[in-house]
Amino acid sequence: MEKRKLLYLNAHGTDALPGLGMLKEQWDIHAATNLDQARQLIEHSDFNVGLAWLEEKESKLSACEDVFLCGKQMAWVALLERPSLQRSSLRRLIHQIFFDYHTLPADLDRLTLSLGHAYGMAALRTSTLPSEGQQGEYEMVGVSPLMRELFKSIRKMASVDAPVLIQGESGTGKELAAAAIHERSRRAKGPFVVVNCGALPGGLIQSELFGYERGAFTGAQRRKIGRIEAAHGGTLFLDEIGDLPFDMQVNLLRFLQEQTIDRVGGREPIDVDVRVIAATNKDLEKAVAEKRGFREDLYFRLNVLRLHMPALRERQDDIELLAWFFFNRFAAERSPGVKGFGRRALEAMNQHSWPGNVRELINRVRRAVVLCDKPLITPVDLGLERRQTVRRIMTLAQARDAAERAAIMGALRQADGNVSQAARQLNVSRVTLYRLVEKYRIRFENPPDGV
C-alpha cells in the first residue's frame, strides 16, 4: 500500500520526536522546521494531514494560524508540552483549528490512531467539496444544463466579432459573461472597456463616450479620448444599455453603422475598431414599443447575437456549488472554527427564490462566514430563517413537480445513491426512477468506494 503523506512541522528538526521511526513505516513524512517551509510544502503538494509541535513560547500565533488554515482540506494534529495548555491563546488555537492534540511524551499508538482518523476526516471533507474541474468555465461557476449551454454559447460568440446583447436579471453575471467573451476572443490582448450607460452624468455623456478636442468648449484645455476610442482593438461593454437617454442613442447608432466616431470639436471622423457587447436587465422589446423608449434601429444593431443569463432559481443544481465556491473564496475572512454549511442552511438556500441572483448569494455567504460562531453555518447566519423566507407562489403542477423531485432526491440520498434501493423505497421501477431523474435533471453520486 502506498504510504500516506504527512506534513511534520517541528522547529527542533526532523528527528526530534522519539519513536518517529515507527510513524515512518506508515507515513511518507515531509518535514518543515519553520512556518515558511510548511507553507511552501502545503502550496506545492496536497497534504491531508499535518502534525505540528506547538511551543509554549510560540509568539507568532496568528502566523501559525495562517499556515494551519492555508491547506483548506487539511486536518491538523498538535503535539505540545503539558504546561503549554495553560496558555489560553494556545488552547483557543487548538480548539478552533486542530482535529486532535497529544501531550508529550506522546503515546505513539494513540498518535498513530489519531493521525489515521485525521486523514479519514480530511478525505471525507475533500470528497464533499466541489473540485476545480467540476465548477465550470472562465471563473464562472456552474454545472447545471442551463450553464453548460451558456458556456457553449460564450465559446461560439467569442469566435466571431458580431455585437452581442446580454439579457438577464440583476446579479446573474452579465458583466462576467461579457468579460468571458472578450477574454476568449481574438481581441483578448486589447482593452475591455466598461461603460455604465445608466450612470453617465447627463450633460457629459457625449464627451465621455466620444471624447473632445482641445478648445472644443470652455474648460477643454486638453484633448480627451472618449471611452469608445479607448476600447480600440478591444471590446466595449455597454452596461445598462436600456438606460441610455433617447437623444444619445442616435449617436451610438452612427458609430455602430460606420465604425467611426467624431470627437466633440473634432474635424475628421476617426476610425475605431471595437466590438460591442451590450447588457440590460430591462425588456428592450417593450421599450422599443414605447414612444421615446428605445430606438428600434439601434436595438437591431445591438441584437445580432443574444445571450440570456438564467436566473439562479432556474438552475437549482448550481446553488450549493456556488455557495461552497464563495465559502472557499472568503476563507481569509472566515471565523476559524467555521467548517461549512449545515443541512438546514443548504435546505434554506435551495428553497430561497434569489431575487438578487448570484450577487445576493455572494453577500449572504460572505455575511455568514464572518458572523457564524459555530462550526456549521445556519439559516440565521445567512439571513434565511424560515419566517423570513419568501416562498415563491407556484402553480399546482409546479408544486407537484417540486414535491416529486424532493422525494426522489431524499430517497437517493438515503440510499447513498443506490438506484435500486431508492426505487424500491419509492415503490417505482428502476426504469421509472431513471426517467424521473432525467426529467428533473437530478444529479447524484453513486456510492463512493469507501474512504
Q: How many residues does the chain have?
A: 451
Nearer to Mg ion by Cβ, of 175 and 243: the residue is 175
Nearer to ligand ATP by Cβ, of 140 and 437: the residue is 140
312 touching ligand ATP, by CB under 6 A = no
Q: Is the dihedral of CA 149, 154, 156, 161 positive or negative?
A: positive
# residues contacting ligand ATP (CB under 6 A): 15
> Buried b / exposed e across 84-112, counting CB within 10 Å, b at 16+?
beebeebeebbeebbbbbbeeebebeebb
**Interface of this chain with Mg ion, residues 189 to 228, rule: CB under 5 A:** none
169 touching Mg ion, by CB under 5 A = no
Shortest Cβ 403–ligand ATP spacing (Å): 28
Binding mask 264-303 for ligand ATP (x = CB under 6 A): -----------------x----------------------
242 touching ligand ATP, by CB under 6 A = no
The secondary structure of 242-273 as a DSSP string is: GGS-HHHHHHHHHHHHHSEE--BT-SS-EE--
Strand locations in 268-374 (E)? 270-271, 275-280, 305-308, 340-341
Burial of 402 by CB count in 10 Å (0-12 exposed, 13-18 middle, 19+ buried)?
middle
Binding range to ligand ATP, per CB under 6 A, among 5-13, 118-126, 173-181, 417-425: 173-181
170 touching ligand ATP, by CB under 6 A = yes
Q: Taking a C-beta distance cutoff of 8 angstroms, is the pair 369, 333 a contact? A: yes
Q: Alpha carbon of 397 to those of 144, 394, 402, 403, 404: distances in Å?
A: 22, 8, 9, 10, 11
Shortest Cβ 173–Mg ion spacing (Å): 8
175 touching Mg ion, by CB under 5 A = yes
Binding range to ligand ATP, per CB under 6 A, among 165-173, 227-235, 261-269, 430-438: 165-173
Contacted by 167, from ligand ATP, Mg ion, none: CB < 5 to 8 Å by type: none
Chain residues that interact with Mg ion, rule: CB under 5 A: 175
Chain residues that interact with ligand ATP, rule: CB under 6 A: 140-142, 168, 170-176, 281, 358-359, 362
